[in-house]
């Protein structure tokens, strides 16, 4: 397989930020004597908007009208706080450096905001390696639509058939495969039990991914 580009999802691929965001909401819920069910959170993984808005759920559980702006700001601050403590997921740095050594173009296609993605890449000294970031604000349609990946490839001036996507969730995989890219799935802590079978290949972690081997074998 000839590879021109590698496009990574961000949450759950570069950092296990799904856990950080869940833990942030859980902290908020606990301050009101409530618990955010993990299955409710998992429904929203890979989406731009919540399948079930945690704040609306919290209001329902407490039976109170809450200060929405205060709570969302609190959850946002806690999300950054918890995410700042995270280490890169296994194999991330290895894969990025291998892509650089092979002179591949490197991008991000994420359903999260540019502020979120850029902050956490920059904090870990990775931002300079990415030729393009396509985030929530950059497209009108979002995963599972293929638009995110197609937009990244257009900016990279690369062909989908010669590009690889790294994803961790069913919606992300659907987006990548729908764009015509070769998709490798690597589950994060919250997507290990999900059906990732629509990916072309499933690996336990990015430690097991080799673009050089992919070039030789596919």
Query: Quick one: three-class SS letters along 20-57?
Result: HHHHHHHHHHHHCCCCCCHHHHHCCCCCCCCCCCHHHH
Catalytic residue check, 208:
no
Catalytic residue among 11, 39, 138, 140: 11
Q: Residue 29: what pLDDT? A: 97
Provide the edge-to-edge strand list for the sheet that holds 105-109: 132-134, 105-109, 5-8, 163-167, 182-186, 201-203
| % of the chain exceeding 90 in pLDDT | 89
Mean pLDDT along residues 4-13: 97
Q: Which CATH superfamily is domain 5-16+88-217 in?
A: HAD superfamily/HAD-like (3.40.50.1000)
Q: Residue 44: what pLDDT? A: 82
Mean pLDDT, rounded, of the chain: 95
218 pLDDT more than 70? no
Catalytic residue check, 39:
no
- Enumerate the domain spans of the chain: 5-16+88-217, 17-84
| % of the chain exceeding 70 in pLDDT | 100
């Amino acid at each position: 397989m000839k590879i021109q580009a590698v496009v990574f999802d961000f949450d759950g691929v570069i950092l296990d930020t799904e856990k950080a965001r869940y833990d942030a909401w859980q902290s908020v819920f606990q301050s009101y004597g409530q618990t955010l069910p993990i299955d409710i959170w998992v429904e929203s993984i890979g989406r731009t908007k919540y399948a079930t808005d945690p704040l609306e759920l919290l209001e329902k559980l407490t039976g109170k009208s809450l200060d929405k702006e205060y709570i969302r700001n609190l959850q946002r601050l806690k999300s950054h706080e918890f995410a700042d403590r995270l280490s890169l997921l296994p194999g991330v740095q290895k894969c990025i450096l291998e892509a650089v050594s092979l002179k591949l173009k490197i991008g991000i296609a994420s359903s999260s905001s540019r502020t979120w993605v850029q902050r956490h890449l920059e904090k870990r000294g990775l931002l300079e390696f990415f030729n393009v970031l396509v985030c929530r604000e950059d497209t009108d349609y979002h995963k599972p639509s293929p638009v995110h990946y197609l937009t990244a490839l257009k900016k990279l001036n690369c062909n989908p058939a010669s590009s690889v996507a790294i994803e961790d969730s069913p919606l992300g995989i659907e987006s990548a495969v729908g764009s015509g890219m070769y998709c490798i799935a690597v589950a994060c802590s919250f997507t290990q039990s999900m059906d990732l079978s629509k990916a072309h290949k499933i690996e336990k972690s990015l430690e097991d991914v080799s673009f050089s081997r992919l070039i030789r074998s596919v």
